[in-house]
Structure 1
C-alpha cells in the first residue's frame, strides 16, 4: 500500500475539499488541523466530521507551530507527499502574532519535517495577494512580487522564499500555489460570497467597497482542487539551464516552482451581488465604504503555465459557482 498523503488545514475550506477529492481518487490521507478560532469553529468541526468516518482518512489535531508536535506527526506516519494548506488567513490586519506563529513558524516546522522525512514533494498554499501593489495585469508568476501590501501577503511571499531556499539547500522539491479568491460550498464566512449571501438572506446590510467597482478573479473551489490534485504528482526538477544573470521569478535552478490557480476572468463585485440577489430572490441593503487597507482594486490570474504543465485551468462561471454555493448555504443553514 502506498504511503498516505498529508493534508494540513484539513478542517479548513480548501483543505476539506482537497481531502474529499483525494479520498474519492482512492488515496490514504492523514489530515491535520488545530481549529484556530479565526472564524466559527463549528464550521470547521462540521467539515472534519464529514471526513472522519471515511476508512481512508485519519484525522489528527496538531498545532504545526509547535516544532515537537510537528516532528512527532512525521514520526507517526511515513509520508512521501505533503499538501500544506494550514495558515492564518485574511488580508485585513488585526493581530500580527497569529500570522507569525502559523504562517512563518508553522511553515518553518513543516519545511524541517519534510527535509528530514525524505518528502518527495511539498505542495503548499501561497496567495494572489503576493502580487500586492503590482499594476500589470494579468498577474504572472514571471513578474516580481516585491511589494506586498498586507502582512498576510508578506508571510506568503516569505513562504515562497523559504521553500525556495530549502529546495536549493537540500533538494526538497516544492510547489507553491497562488490561489485567487476561492469560494464555494463549505466556504469561509469572512469571504465576500459567503458574507454577502448570509447578510442578504437575513435582511442585514452589506458593506460594499468602492461602490462595488472592485474586480476579483473569483475561483470556484472545485477548480482549485483540480489544480492541486494534478500538481501533487508533478514534483519539479532542478533546472540546469536557469540563468542567474537574467533570472525569471517563476523558474529556478532548484526544484521549486510557483503557479497561479485562478479563473482568469475578473468579475465586478456589483455583478457578484446581483447574482447572489437573483439566487436568493432578495435585494441587498447596501452601504458603500472605502476600499480597506490591504485590499487591491483588481486581481486577475495568468494561468498559462498551469495550463501548459497540467492541461487544466479553472473555468467555472461565477453564476454557476454561486448557484451551487447558495444551494449549499440553504441546506447548511436550513433556510
Structure 2
C-alpha cells in the first residue's frame, strides 16, 4: 500500500532552527492548513505540541476543530465563526467582512502592507477599529503577509517599514478600546531576513516541513524534509526491446528491461507532467505516462521511494514543492519512521 513516511527527527531539527532564529519556541505558530501541507494535520499538531508549540494556523474552522486540543489558540485565516470560541481567532480580510462576524468573536485584523491580495489598507485602520468595536468583536491580533521574502530585493524592507507604521497606529487605536493585540508579519522565509525577530509571533509553514527555498544570496537554513512518498509494487514484467508501456505508449524500451507498476498515480498527487521524465532519488526512472492510480518504474523493488524532497520532484514538472505537498492524497497512509 502506498504510504507517506514522516521523520520526527527532521521535524524537531527544523523546529530547533526556527526557535533559535526567532528567540524561542513561544513565538512559533505552526501552519497546519491544507492537512499540514499534505503531511497530516493531526500528526504534525501532536508532535509540535509535544515540542512545546502553543499556537497553530489553519484556513478553515473545520481544520481548527481537528487540532484544537493540542494548542492554546488556533488562528483561522479564511473562515467565519459558527459560534465564537475562546481558543479560536479569525482573520478579518476586508472592511466589508467585519459585518459578517458574530458578536464576541476574537479577531485578528489583516492589513495590506504591499501584498495587495487581502487586508484593509493602512489608511483604513481607524475605520476598521471603529467597526470592530461597534460589532462587539475583540481584536487580539494585527497581521500582514510578505510577498517576496524569499528573494533578494527591497520589498522585504519596504513591507517591514510599512508594518512598523501599522504597529504604531494600531497600538494607539487598540488602547482606545482596551485591546492588547499581538503583531505578526513574518512567514517562513521572513524569519531569516533579520537577526532580530520584531514580531510577537511568526507563522511558519514550508520551513517547518523542510522544503524552504530561498535565493542563493540569502541565508540558507539547513532544514530537513520531513516527508517521503513511497509506492508498493503491483506487478512486474520484462518489457522487451521495442515494446511500449502505458497510455499512448510514450516510452519505448531500447533494450529488454524490468518494469514494475506501483500503486500511486495522479489521483494520489503524482503530477502527470512528470510522466516519462522523473528519476527517483535512488536513480530509478519513471517509464511512460502516469495513470490515475499507478505509475511504472524501471524497478522490481517491493517498496519504492518516489521522493524524499518535494522540491526535487517539483522541479521535474516546473512547479514548487508547496503544490506537490498540498496535492498529496489525504487518504494515503501516514506514519512516523523515527
* TM-score, length basis structure 1: 0.32
Of Structure 1 and Structure 2, the greater strand share is in: 2
Of Structure 1 and Structure 2, the greater helix share is in: 1
Query: Which of the pair has more CA radius of gyration?
Result: 2
